[in-house]
């Protein structure tokens, strides 16, 4: 779980409340919320098939609770499996399957132990990666649509407020407060876009890249283990996925 | 038929009317509608050949009434055909053609039963897929152009209203109501873009991806049936098109 | 000639005049026109070499008077030529050249009759298609630049009007009319972008796609005729360029 | 030298001055110029390494004084060289080198006369083309950044003016003139973007395409001359770079 | 270290202060800073994993202190190594490793001296280049997100200020100053985007291109040295990476 999302969101809210002079009251207006939050959700609901829209809680969870994989530990584990498979044969890995946390790696090793055809192993694992990517793309696209629709509904709400206000100027002293209320929807829309959905869309894109990297390392490793490659060669191959700093953490002293 | 479009659109309208304080009267103005709706339609009419513009009702129907194919059921049907063709020969599929609902699958199986050359079968089916994609691209492009032109005509209407109002300030008390009317066109344009055309464009893109996926599954299946592939291999191949959740629904227990 | 462009443009103008309450007078201001129309043209003149700018009348003509090719009739003609060439030899096509309206097809058949090397025939025809595309791209790019510069000059004019007005507030009663005049340039810029140049740019893109499709059909047909392909095979090939509805119009009954 | 740039720029300025009612005084304000012109230049200076920024005068010169190559004359010259080289040998071209104006063609012919390896000739010429393209891309990118930063500094200046004005409302009669001054920076920014930098960026892109086309014709020609190709074949090859209108100007009567 | 960034930033600030009439006081407001600076940082913190966000100081350092490599000197060094290796063998380069400043070149020569397999040398160096590019892409992306979020938080702050002001119009004389304060956040956001983050993002992109060019020259050189290529051929190869002006500085007189 990455604390950045929560710390960042709290920071924004604390600073905005501080900027409001701790007067939160004037910024709460139920009809304005109805227009902006409801309108935006309605538009996204229109834009996606129901079955896709229903994945929203899954997407939100992904944004908040997302632990990036420890790629160094992953590579060390793959190297250990590679050495064991070379010494004791592929079937010896069966006893390790239980101890693997990563569902994707577990599936890969299971396939290898089951003696599945290497081509089929790669196909199965790669098509799974393609689906993870597609699911992330759905989430990212939805967040981006939320981020572009929220300010639009904010502006729509302000237009509604202005039209009602201007059409009824009997009491000039009410002009200011009415205008304030009209502007609240624009503020809601801007807040939703810039403090929720845009950061969420960027985060999903970043997480996606990291998760796909991890899964590609696993595929390379599993295929290499099945082929009986020299663990030394596998190490060089997998280290090419790492930044220089991360490489130092990999077991086995380097030669160069 | 996907209810999301209708539920979403109703939700937006109910919430906007609630946000208006249930006073809908001030938001209805016929000349404003003429400018925004008429102007936008006129501009789209200018932008497309008449024959393309005439496809608009077809596009609208596509957005509202669009049932996503049950991919699981489709794969099960292809597997059943594959097994039958293997046991009883390709001609045995002739009796099943009547019972196929999907026009595209029907055509594919008919071609196979007619003994068409496999290369030609693939060409005919793929060029049909290309045309479906092109037609969807036309629809999506049209919706996007509507979505970007509507706010422009809304602003044009507001400018017209402001110029008329400012040029004639004899009665200052009419300033407010005149300004309110001027803003109505901006509201119409924003509503059309964000509650109609943008969600419609996104939905067409999503549907397109799902429909093309279904058609590609059919092509793979039909070609594989004609080639007499082992149904087991076909199952593995087609399941690679599915998400993990959907795979569970496919007939035949998995081995791994 | 496609009536959509003219009908759409008339529709927009009628509706805007209706929206103006049939008071067109306040919307006509010569200095405003000078700034917006002149400024936009000046900027486009700056942006393109004179020789390209001079092609503007040709581009405008293309937008208004553009007849889409009857692709069905074109394919029928190619099939007829294909059959004749097979029966009576390539030279027999010489008598048909006079009757061909399409300049591009005429040139292709002429090259074939002249016994030009097939490779060179394809090169000559394809380079011609490339130039048609480039010329359309020039037109589309120019229209898009017009569409983005016009609102900018509209805003520039409004800023000029506002600065003059605000610097000289001696007579407060003139404030409204002066502001109205200032806004007129913004209206002109918006009108030019959304009722002229944006639709024109989209239309050129659509026409380009259709014209290139037609030319590619001709290239395929001419090459196939020169190679002496079976007309049946040519028919299948060319029909893959058509939508299902259009295919029905092609001569020769289908087999499937 | 292309007059369009200068005519267009003069036209814009004359029309704007006409639109100002020939009152230029209220539009000149030194601090506003400092903010917009200076701020924009400062930001571009921040954005590029000093060595790249220093190429600005070269880029400006390129935009104003740029003569498009006469492609027809170029091709005729290449054909003449081709014939001479065939008749009298490659060394006979040495006497023509002095008379060649185009530096790039001169270098190409010199390389051929020097007996350089054909592969190396092509590499040297192509890498030179790549550098011309890169230099143009730098210029275009710089102009685009100027065009997007100028309005931003215009708005920044207006915000500064508004804040100063609103914080000090002692004398209400100064409100108008102060607001006018505040708006001047926005006008400057808009003018710089739309009457200078945007057209300049488009022009560089257009010139780049034409210059690269000319250089590619030279490469094809030089390589073909070195290889001793038939001038007839070279003519057909080079004409494929031309539009139908331009082809008529090429020497030698066509056969088709 | 490139002085452009610092000179440009100082220039912008001096000119803005000049444009403010040297009255900086009205432009300093702590709650406004809290909203814009804090809000923007909070949103970027939300958008990136903590580990990526922590790289911010490294990115800032990169923007300010970045010395572009002297490509001419680099090529001269590679040519010297190439000659020495040819004369005295690859192992003779060991004594030069200490004197190499560039870490990347040092690593390359070390690998060659160690007798690493050529394929592996290229893989190791290329994957390092890929990581440099990725790290730069992260920095550029972060700067771009800062640049687009800062004006959004500026506008959010202004909306908050306006709502508070309009809801409490008891004392009309405070209207101006309150509005001034409200606008300050928009000014902060615009300043941050256009005087900090946008130029920074452009600069990172430019530096990235130059650094990658240098690293690719090193890879070509190291591989060529290992392969024992003729230094003359290496010189021609490496000079293709240079502009005509830079080529003159390379040692060895040219032949053409």
Average pLDDT rounded to a whole number, residues A66-74: 79
CA distance E18 to E35: 26
B138 SS3 class:
helix
**Calculated CA dihedral for residues B136, B137, B141, B143, nearest 10 degrees:** 10
Backbone angles phi, psi at C98, to 5 degrees: -55, -35
Q: Which chains touch A (3 or more CB pairs under 8 A)?
A: B, E
Size of interface A-E (CB pairs under 8 A): 145
Helices E231-239 and E198-227, packing angle to 10 deg? 160
Cβ pair E247, E153 in contact under 8 A: no
- Give the closest of B23, B183, B206 to A52, CB-based: B206
pLDDT value at position D148?
Answer: 95
Calculate the average pLDDT of chain D.
85
Write out the two tokens for E33. Answer: 């800073």
Question: pLDDT tens digits for A173-192?
Answer: 777 778 888 899 999 999 99
CA distance D133 to A90: 55
Q: How many residues in total does chain B contain? A: 256
Q: What percent of chain E has pLDDT over 70?
A: 94
**Helix runs in E37-117, H state only:** 39-47, 50-53, 56-64, 71-88, 94-97, 103-113
Question: pLDDT tens digits for D44-81?
Answer: 999 998 888 888 998 888 888 876 778 888 888 999 99
Name the closest residue on chain E to residue D163, using Cα atoms.
Answer: E180
Contact B195 A39 (CB under 8 A): yes
Question: pLDDT tens digits for D105-144?
Answer: 998 998 899 888 888 788 778 878 887 888 788 899 999 9
pLDDT tens-digit profile, chain C (256 residues): 578 888 889 999 998 888 888 788 788 888 899 999 999 999 999 999 888 888 899 888 888 887 677 888 888 899 999 999 989 988 888 888 888 888 889 989 988 998 888 887 887 788 788 878 887 888 999 999 999 999 999 999 999 999 988 887 767 677 777 888 889 999 999 999 999 999 999 999 888 888 888 888 899 889 889 988 788 778 877 877 777 677 776 654 443 3
Question: pLDDT tens digits for A48-57?
Answer: 988 888 889 9
pLDDT value at position D196?
Answer: 93
In which band, very low, low, confident or very high, does the pLDDT at A251 lie, cut at 50, 70 and 90? low
Is the confidence at residue A66, as pLDDT, over 60?
Answer: yes
How close, in Å, is residue D104 to chain E by CA atoms?
A: 12
Question: pLDDT tens digits for E10-37?
Answer: 999 998 888 888 788 788 888 899 999 9
Residues of C in contact with B149 (CB under 8 A): 194, 198
* Residues in CB range of B249: below 8 A, 6 or more apart: B72
Is the confidence at residue A217, as pLDDT, over 70?
Answer: yes
Is the confidence at residue B254, as pLDDT, over 60?
Answer: no
Backbone angles phi, psi at D61, to 5 degrees: -60, -45
pLDDT value at position D213?
Answer: 84
Which of E116, E127, E87, E103 is closest to E226 using CA atoms? E116
Helix (H) or strand (E) holding A203: helix A198-227
Cβ pair B36, B153 in contact under 8 A: yes
Is the confidence at residue D171, as pLDDT, over 80?
Answer: no
In which band, very low, low, confident or very high, does the pLDDT at A250 lie, cut at 50, 70 and 90? low
- Give the closest of A2, A190, A200 to E50, CB-based: A2
Calculate the average pLDDT of chain A.
85
Transcribe D155-180 into DSSP letters: HHHHHHHHHHHHT--S-GGGHHHHHH
pLDDT value at position A234?
Answer: 81
Residues of B in contact with C184 (CB under 8 A): 163
pLDDT value at position C103?
Answer: 85
**Calculated CA dihedral for residues B223, B227, B228, B234, nearest 10 degrees:** -40
Contact E195 D166 (CB under 8 A): no
In which band, very low, low, confident or very high, does the pLDDT at D1 lie, cut at 50, 70 and 90? low
State yes or no: chains A and E have 3 or more CB pairs below 8 A: yes
Least confident of B169-173, D9-13, D72-76, E75-79: B169-173
pLDDT tens-digit profile, chain E (256 residues): 578 888 889 999 998 888 888 788 788 888 899 999 999 999 999 999 888 888 899 888 888 887 677 888 888 899 999 999 989 988 888 888 888 888 889 989 988 998 888 887 887 788 788 878 887 888 999 999 999 999 999 999 999 999 988 887 767 677 777 888 889 999 999 999 999 999 999 999 888 888 888 888 899 889 989 988 788 778 877 877 777 677 776 654 443 3
CA distance C216 to C208: 12
Helix (H) or strand (E) holding D9: helix D3-19
Average pLDDT rounded to a whole number, residues B156-169: 87
Is the confidence at residue D253, as pLDDT, over 70?
Answer: no
pLDDT value at position C256?
Answer: 37
State yes or no: chains C and B have 3 or more CB pairs below 8 A: yes
In which band, very low, low, confident or very high, does the pLDDT at D159 lie, cut at 50, 70 and 90? very high
Average pLDDT rounded to a whole number, residues B15-30: 84
Residue whose pair of structure tokens reads 């804040």 in the numeric block: D163
In which band, very low, low, confident or very high, does the pLDDT at A201 lie, cut at 50, 70 and 90? very high
Is the confidence at residue B197, as pLDDT, over 90?
Answer: yes
Contact C32 D21 (CB under 8 A): no
CA distance E17 to E33: 18
How close, in Å, is residue E136 to chain A by CA atoms?
A: 13
Average pLDDT rounded to a whole number, residues B47-71: 84
Transcribe D179-237 into DSSP letters: HHHHHHHHHHHHHHIIIIIHHHHHHHHHHHHHHHHHHHHHHHHHHHHHHT--HHHHHHH
pLDDT value at position D249?
Answer: 67
Transcribe D21-79 into DSSP letters: TT--GGG--HHHHIIIIIHHHHHHHHHS-HHHHTTHHHHHHHHHS-PPP-HHHHHHHHH
Distance of CA C36 to the CA centre of its chain: 24
Residue whose pair of structure tokens reads 């050359």 in the numeric block: B117
CA distance B148 to B150: 6
How close, in Å, is residue C178 to chain D by CA atoms?
A: 13
In which band, very low, low, confident or very high, does the pLDDT at B136 lie, cut at 50, 70 and 90? confident
Residues of D in contact with C49 (CB under 8 A): 2, 4, 68, 203, 206-207, 210
pLDDT value at position B208?
Answer: 86
Which of E213, E207, E221 is closest to E100 using CA atoms? E221
D99 SS3 class:
coil
**Position with higher pLDDT, E128 vs B183:** B183
pLDDT value at position E198?
Answer: 95
Q: Which chains touch C (3 or more CB pairs under 8 A)?
A: B, D
| CB-count burial class (<10 Å; 0-12, 13-18, 19+) for C103 | exposed
Q: To probe the interface with A, which of E160, E181, E189 has the most A CB atoms within 10 Å?
A: E160
Q: Which chains touch E (3 or more CB pairs under 8 A)?
A: A, D
How close, in Å, is residue A204 to chain E by CA atoms?
A: 8
Write out the two tokens for C59. Answer: 């581009």
E98 SS3 class:
coil
């Amino acid at each position: 779980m990455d604390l950045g999302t929560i710390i960042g969101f709290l920071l924004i809210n604390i600073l905005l409340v501080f900027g409001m002079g701790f007067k939160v009251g004037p910024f709460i207006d139920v009809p304005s919320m109805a227009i902006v939050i409801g309108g935006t959700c309605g538009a996204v609901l229109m834009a996606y098939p129901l079955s896709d829209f229903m994945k929203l809680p899954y997407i939100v969870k992904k944004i908040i609770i997302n632990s990036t994989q420890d790629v160094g530990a992953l590579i060390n584990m793959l190297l250990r499996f590679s050495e064991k498979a070379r010494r004791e044969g592929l079937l010896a890995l069966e006893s390790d399957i239980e101890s693997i946390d990563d569902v994707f790696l577990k599936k890969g090793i299971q396939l290898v132990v089951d003696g599945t055809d290497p081509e089929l192993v790669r196909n199965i694992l790669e098509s799974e990666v393609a689906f993870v990517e597609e699911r992330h793309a759905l989430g990212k696209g939805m967040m981006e649509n939320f981020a572009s629709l929220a300010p639009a509904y904010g502006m729509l709400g302000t237009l509604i407020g202005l039209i009602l206000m201007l059409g009824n100027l009997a009491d000039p002293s009410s002009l200011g407060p009415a205008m304030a209320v009209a502007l609240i929807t624009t503020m809601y829309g801007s807040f939703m876009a810039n403090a929720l959905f845009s950061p969420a869309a960027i985060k999903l894109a970043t997480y996606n890249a990291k998760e796909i990297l991890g899964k590609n390392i696993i595929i390379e490793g599993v295929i290499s283990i099945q082929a009986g490659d020299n663990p030394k060669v596998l190490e060089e191959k997998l280290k090419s996925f790492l930044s220089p700093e991360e490489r130092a953490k990999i077991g086995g002293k380097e030669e160069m």
